Amino acid sequence: MQQIDKGDIITYLLPPRSCPSNPFREWHGRVEWSSPELVKVTVLDEGYTGETEFVMRTEIVSVMSGLSSAEQYFNERSGKSHLV
């Protein structure tokens, strides 16, 4: 099981029980807290920013860890290089 800490940025898929219109769409959230099976995130995606979701660890696609994970995420989303 991958270590997930508060402040990490995760990429995840919505579960089938949520009946997503696009089941392959990747969502992004900042971790608020985590347990062995569940992660609480603040959604970062446009149109849903600031909403809270609970994500099962089995739904997580990737994790960006470290102090600069949010900066890296936003730079990638805006097309800016994080290398200056």
- Which DSSP state fits 35? -
| Confidence (pTM) | 0.79
pLDDT tens digit at each of 84 positions of the chain: 678 999 999 999 999 999 999 999 999 999 999 999 999 999 999 999 999 999 999 999 999 986 565 666 666 666 654 443
For residue 84, the model assigns a pLDDT of: 32
Sheet strands side by side (includes 9-12): 52-56, 38-43, 27-34, 9-12, 60-64
For residue 65, the model assigns a pLDDT of: 86
